[in-house]
Amino acid sequence: MSRPLALVTGSHRRLGGHIAVRLAQAGYDVALHASRPGEPDPVVIRGIGGARYESFVADLADPAAVAALVPAVADRFGRRVDLLVNNASCFRADDDSYPAPESLTAHFAVNAAAPFVLATALAGQGGAAVVNILDQRIAHPHRDQLAYTLSKQALAEATRTLALALAPSVRVNGVAPGLTIATEDYDAEQLERLAAMMPLERLPSPDQVADAVLFLAGATASTGQMLFVDGGAGLVRFERDFVHLGR
């Protein structure tokens, strides 16, 4: 019996890479994805171990590339995609108080439209589950990065809507992480102060987010659910993005 096949978008590195590794360790073969040509992080390849993996390039802002991705994965592996993890995101800080139309279009294309198209493509070829990576800010949005926030809110609503539209064949759920893998904009002291602001006084780890994805991948009685993995951040209304806090 062949191993189930998972496609994880944005999985050459960072959080998507952790998710791909966790799925491989749990028995999946994995289709890695990047928006631009390049090699996956060696840490990801080592973590995948003996599972089969293949790497695919598709610009999720290009509708034709999005439409071709699931068929390309199924063709190369010679079987259907069982699990889709919509992890890839467009994240751009808006220069002005409100995002320009071009910024809204770019964010919605990658963060909402592409996941929708990929999910329906998975359903069309007999897949079983979709997990969308959201953001804890959807619970209490703030004024920063409005285009990104609106697109993630749209993906959260698409999660619930697709869960009903694709039932009973496909389950659609979401994971909403908090600040998980900090960029170079943060220093260690700021991260300690941010952790102290969380109800659980800690920030989530990439492996904890990956474990939540794995749980929902196999949660056969759950659909339309959103699991927050954020140290409790989704329970608190923060006035600004984390990068502006705890300095």
Burial group, residue 115, by CB count within 10 angstroms (0-12, 13-18, 19+): buried
Q: What is the DSSP string of 148-213?
A: HHHHHHHHHHHHHHHHHHSTTT-EEEEEEE-S-S--TT--HHHHHHHHHHSTTSSPPPHHHHHHHH
Q: How far apart are CA 227 and CA 236, in angstroms?
A: 16
- Preceding peptide of 168 cis, ω within 30°: yes
Shortest CA distance to 222 belongs to which of 152, 178, 174?
Answer: 174
Residue 148 a catalytic site member: yes
| Residue from 53, 98, 148, 186 carrying the catalytic annotation | 148
* Residues noted as catalytic: 148
